[in-house]
Structure 1
Amino acid sequence: MLYGNKRWLYIAVPIFFFWFFGQIDKLGISVIQTDASFLEDLGLTGADKNAKIGFITFIFTVSYAFSNLFWGYIIDRFGARKTAVIGLIIWSAMMIVGGLATSYEIFLVSRVVLGFGEGMMIPICGKFISNWFNHRELGRAQSSWLAGNYFGPACGAIILTLVIATFNWEAAFFFLAGFNLLIVIPMFIFLTRDTPEEHPRMDQKEIAFIREIDVNEKGRKKQNFTQDYRYWIVWFGMLMSSFLFFGISIWLPTYLVEAKSFSREAMTGITSLSWLFALGFVLVCGYLADKTKRPSLLATILFSMTAIFLTAAILAPHPVIAGICMGLAMGTQGGVFHLSNLFIVKYSTPETAGRAAGLMGFTNILGGFSSYIMGWLRDLSGGDFGPSIVMLIVAAGLGFAAYLFTLKKEAVEVRTYKINSNRLII
């Protein structure tokens, strides 16, 4: 049954769970920060409490973003497999420290080191995808791990709510550390290798398929990814996407509870649904990217949809409609994130994929600013989310405008691809 498809077991499955649990680690704080005991124990009270809550994500994403640059170089030098295990050990330890924290300051230190440990996630997956999959299945390969990126938090919102209700907020961190130590690390050790040629259970026919040359790239010298202007447009688009995604995802549970008066149970349902929206956009975009060869056009459409959904959330007369619109806006950015990681592989080589992904991962730094600025604006406006959402709409407009500059060249490439494919058939 697995003959000719072992790459999906050895690589797609481990990196799915890598992101499934990794994103619960990263974004579970959005649920935990709605717990009154957590806020009281760490001193998150007073007139500036929203800015302090936002600073938790800000300090994490700054560390996460800068570490992407470091990890990208390490991965290209020493391989994705060893790097993944080292990073997993670091972040598992920091989840335990976070659960043991007795002050806001200690908790912040744990988030800084956690951000450093998790910073290797994007470049590791970019490296694995580049080394292990055929050029015609990159969209589906990216979808396999990005599915974990969104399915994880969808389940995580429910899991963390139950753990906190049954035990306490500290237990949530211990559970997350256990998942990594008992499930994810063994998967990387026993299933993965850096390249298919190194794996003892891979057959030559499947390796030959993986190494099949793209007819459009044959005979063409591939330039360094930093020399392709479209990489930098995608990089800017990822800045905007990070700003939008972290701003919405980190504050969505608080928005539902405090601005729309949802119960904790209803908040959990809408939050989980929002992550499933993101998963849906990832899967659809993975299919359409492979089918149409127009990822830039898809990203342009997604940014426009984000602006529309955010505007609808402001104007919606009913809290449930507003909550769903916010969830759909977050979901569209899941699609943008997927396409951006597809571009990493497209514009780089297997030798430079780690660095290309690391530089792209650096864009997460703006997500931290988004979380902090939204908290600061809430404090200034007496808890109102309106100014923050308007700010997010502007970011969506900038992302839309940036991708417009990629459409003409992409259309030319698609026509060339079809002509070359028809010649091969003839």
Structure 2
Amino acid sequence: MNNLNPQLHDPSSKMTNTRWFFTAFPLLVLFTVSMMDKANINVLLANKPFLTDLGIDGNLVKGTLSSIFLVTYAFGQLAWGFIVDKIGALRSGFIGIALWAFAMVLGGMADSISAILWSRAILGIGEGVLYPMALKLTSSWFPQNEQAKAQTTWYNGNAIGPVLGLPLIAIIASTYGWRESYFILAALSVVCLILFVIMTRDNPAKHYAVNSMELNYIQSNQKVGKTPTASKDNVKAVLTSQMFWILTIVYSCISIAYYGISTFLPSYLTEEKGIAFVNSAVINAGGFALAIVVQMVAGFLSDRFMKRAIFVGGACGLIIVFMLFSLFTTNSTVAAVLSILLIGLLFMPAALTMTMLHRVASSEVMGSISGVFGCVSYLIAALGPMVVGLFSQMSGSYNGGFIALLCFVALSLFLSVFLVRKGY
């Protein structure tokens, strides 16, 4: 997997852009397909044959199916973070992607709730490699002034996946059956595995397509803004820093809101707003399409001004407004538009919060640090679907669960103001 690169010794060649095509692009594809794998269950929870075949009944059970994924996803990130630092992003990615492809095959073969729970649990472990691997590669491949653009590029896969996947899964499940949706996604995961292994390397010095100009550009601009505590021997210093935990709390609260809302939004639109099953998937896809634009614009502007927290806080404020209006409108068209706007904003705060993580940790420890960051965040995020399921079951409607989630978004908004004052 280590390649000798003759371009490094060719001073006459124009600077290559390998970091974008061979690193950011494969990561974008991986996140796109992984998000389709995650979103599969959200669509199927509104599919009657799926619910009937597996005997699924009640919102608490539905929430548990999402939460079990998030729990193993969280612990997976913790383990993968240290593994990525030990064996590298490429080898770690190979193992993780293969594992989640197997989980999708297992899901397609499931004949009980316990079997689908095992599929979700294994999927969480496999996909847990993504963020430690992606953050490690971003830290190694991109200079400080490009990290927000790079991160929002691959993070956009989280929005592109549902744009493509939600309508596709709904159509496949309605036309052929829910099992076929699992098998098709498993095949796409195998394609991603092949693409990743061919195109990606752990750092630019090892890549066959990088020339000396690009390597020098990357290395000369990576040290700007790094904190002196983020050294290879100072994982403990990063983990005991105030800013690390503030960023972790902000990301955790946004993640609770995202997973709580996205898990139940298709069912909410279908059951309480009277929107057809396939149409609810299309509405969700429209929101994720908007999220792509929002993230790219925010990434560009935050790189230009080197300010991230102000965008995070602004998005949190708008999320609260759109969610409240959506809950209390009786017009299905207005609810659909507000849902699109809501989803369009849910991704951007998380992406920029992770970008701020580069301010407190270097590339040498990024795998380990991002593993802890992700583990804590997603263990907390696992509460999201369960909160909505529990409170909606207690109150008799989704409103109670969604309002509970907004309390977490409000905390992110408050902490974002603190981050703005600290220059983030």
**TM score, norm. by length of structure 1:** 0.91
Would you say the 8 A contact 2:167–2:281 is kept in 1?
yes
**Correspondent of 1:169 among 148, 168, 178:** 178
Q: Which segments of structure 1 move beyond 6 Å, counting only runs of 4 or more?
A: none
- 1:88 corresponds to 2:100: no
Q: What percent identity do the matched residue pairs reach?
A: 26
Pair 1:203-2:215 in alignment: no
Match of 2:131 in 1: 122
SS in structure 2 of the partner of residue 34 of structure 1: coil
The residue type paired with residue 47 of structure 2 is D
Aligned residue for 1:41?
Answer: 53
- Equivalent residue for 1:16? 28
Aligned-residue offset at 1:2: 8.7
* SS of structure 2 residue aligned to 1:28: helix
1:291-313 Cα distance to aligned partner (Å, 9 max, x none): 12110111111111111111111
The alpha-carbon distance between structure 1 residues 82 and 220, as it changes in their structure 2 partners (threshold 3 A), is closer
Retained in 2: the 8 A contact 1:136–1:290?
A: yes
2:389 to 358, 372, 375: 375
Q: Deviations over 1:176-206 (max 9, x none)?
A: 000011x211111111110110112211110
User: Cα 1:277–1:371, aligned 2, differ >3 Å: closer, same or farther?
Assistant: same
C-alpha distance in 1 between matches for 2:256 and 2:226: 37
Deviation at 1:227, TM superposition (A): 4.0
Kindly indicate whether residue 252 of structure 2 is the aligned counterpart of residue 239 of structure 1.
Answer: yes
Moved more, 309-318 or 385-394: 309-318
3-state DSSP of counterpart to 2:208: coil
Q: 1:215 to 1:175 in 2, by over 3 A?
A: closer
Distance 2:419 2:369 in 1: 18
* Equivalent pair of 2:227/2:359 in contact (CA under 8 Å): no
CA contact (8 A) 1:282 1:335 kept: yes
Show the counterpart of 2:242.
229
Determine helix, strand or coil for the equivalent of 2:423.
Answer: helix
Any conservation in 2 of the 1:72–1:355 contact (CA below 8 Å)? Answer: yes
SS at match of 1:202: coil
- 1:330-409 to structure 2, matched below 5 A, reads 330-362=343-375, 363-382=377-396, 384-409=397-422
Rounded to whole Å, the distance in 2 between the matches of 1:122 and 1:289 is 21
Normalised by the length of structure 2, the TM-score is: 0.92
d(CA) in 2 for partners of 1:250, 1:132: 34
The whole-number CA distance in structure 2 between the counterparts of 1:298 and 1:221 is 26
Aligned to 1:149: 158
Greater displacement, 325-334 / 199-208? 325-334
Q: Structure 1 residue 330: deviation in Å? A: 2.8
Q: Which stretch shifts more, 339-348 or 108-117?
A: 339-348
**Is 1:72 paired with 2:81?**
yes
Give the conservation status (yes or no) of the 8 Å contact 1:151–1:276. yes
1:215 shift after superposition: 7.4
CA distance in 2, matches of 1:343, 1:278: 19
> Conserved in 2, the CA contact under 8 Å of 1:60 and 1:114?
yes
Matched, 1:185 2:199: no
Aligned AA (2:127) = E
Could you say which residue in structure 2 is the equivalent of 1:57?
Answer: 66
Quickly say closer, same or farther: Cα 1:85–1:2, change in 2 above 3 A. farther
Q: Distance in 1 between matches of 2:224 and 2:89?
A: 28
Tell me the secondary structure at the aligned position of residue 422 of structure 2. Answer: helix
Give the count of matched residue pairs: 406
| Contact 2:313 2:413 survives alignment (8 Å) | yes
Cα 1:97–1:339, aligned 2, differ >3 Å: closer, same or farther?
same
2:144 aligned partner, one-letter code: H
Distance, in Å, in 2 between the alignment partners of 1:359 and 1:215 is 23
